[in-house]
Structure 1
Amino acid sequence: MQTSTKSNIRTFPIILCALFAALTAVCSAISIPIPFTPIPINLATLSIFLAGGLLGAKWGTISQVVYVLLGAIGLPVFHNFTGGFGIIAGPTGGYIVGYIAAAFLIGYLTDKFIFSKDNKTSAIYVKLILSMVAGGILCYTLGTIWFMKLTGTSLIPALLSCVIPFLPGDLIKILIASFLTKRLKNFL
């Protein structure tokens, strides 16, 4: 009986990684195209914020690596049910790769500065929001540099088409993810 319990505890993070990879796929697949940008609106970043906040640096990163690998081998997990290495190698691929970096950074910050100490509730929310903002900035930075390199677009037009339109939605996603992370972290 003791061995079975230890085995279940070890497999639980793996199950959570699979669930968050699936959640990212679902949140990515259903997209709303915007006419002036190649990047659609979807809920993928909500999943990234939750993966980093709830699973931490190691497991949050692994969940997003799994997601990206599933898409790279051709499963339709990217926007509008697309898949394949061509999507990752294309102009929006940097944002997809940025999911991995963002999950790691959010997880690292939450592991080190939020859930490793006894914090007051209000301080936890502020720190969660700041860690998710940092992860979002990292994702946008990697994705925008990638987009600029592949399309030859300069910085201001790239920001106007690939970042600025998505900031209000990402702020809402960050607020939702920080609330859910604080509420769900104790259960995990």
Structure 2
Amino acid sequence: MKITTKNIILCAVFAALTAILSQISIPLPFTPVPINLAMISVFIAGGLLETKISAISQLVYVIIGAIGVPVYANFTGGLGILVGPTGGYIVGYIITTIIIGVIVKRLGNSIYSYTVAMVVGILGCYFVGTVWFMHITRNGLIEALLMCVVPFLIGDILKIILSAFLVKRLKKYV
């Protein structure tokens, strides 16, 4: 990977976009995990950018939040959020972009490949986030899935559809 001005700008843009979309959130009374739009930025970064660049963009987002800048959902930040019940999902953003990038590289640039990559990518995020949630809260698998995955499935499917079409349209410009 070559460090270019373009790559630095793309990292900054997608870290900022994730921070902005994280603020469009709805807290749910039965889980510490809010509904938010951050995953749209993660999906688009994973589909548009080189794999390393997309992962770095989300790593920058995670680090900025960890040092206390309020970029996480509901204008929160700090290491406490990252090591708390939702931290695994936040770290999962990095893994999601890597998975998407690897799959898109293998399958090519099509709505189908973007959709498949994003579905597998979010499964990676669900896995990391749910395992971390279970560890922190001492909840069992079924309980954790009912609190942290099932309520988000329809919204995440809609985000994947939107993001796949956006990546297809934006690919020629990046």
Distance in 2 of aligned mates of 1:134 and 1:162: 17
Distance in 2 of aligned mates of 1:128 and 1:30: 24
Distance in 1 of aligned mates of 2:52 and 2:139: 34
CA RMSD of aligned residues (A): 1.1
Where does residue 40 of structure 1 map in the other structure? Answer: 34
Q: Quick one: which amino acid aligns to residue 182 of structure 1?
A: K
- Of 48, 68, 77 in structure 1, the residue corresponding to residue 71 of structure 2 is 77
Matched, 1:150 2:150: no
TM-score (norm. length: structure 1):
0.89
Distance in 2 of aligned mates of 1:83 and 1:10: 29
Deviation digits for residues 79-115 of structure 1, max 9, x if unmatched?
1000001100001100000000001110121123214
Contact 1:29 1:76 (C-alpha < 8 Å) held by counterparts: no
Q: Quick one: which amino acid aligns to residue 110 of structure 1?
A: V
Q: Quick one: which amino acid aligns to residue 39 of structure 2?
A: T
Q: Quick one: which amino acid aligns to residue 92 of structure 1?
A: T
Contact 1:56 1:110 (C-alpha < 8 Å) held by counterparts: no
Deviation digits for residues 5-27 of structure 1, max 9, x if unmatched?
xxxx9211110110000000001
Q: Which has the larger radius of gyration?
A: 1
Q: Quick one: which amino acid aligns to residue 137 of structure 1?
A: L
- SS of 2:134's equivalent in the other structure is helix
Q: Structure 2: give runs of 5+ residues left out of the alignment.
A: none
Higher relative strand content = 2
Q: Structure 1: give runs of 5+ residues left out of the alignment.
A: 1-8, 116-123
Distance in 2 of aligned mates of 1:65 and 1:99: 8
For this pair of structures, how many residues does the alignment match?
172
Identity value in percent:
57
Distance in 1 of aligned mates of 2:6 and 2:48: 13
Matched, 1:12 2:31: no
- 1:37-116 equivalences under 5 Å are 37-115=31-109
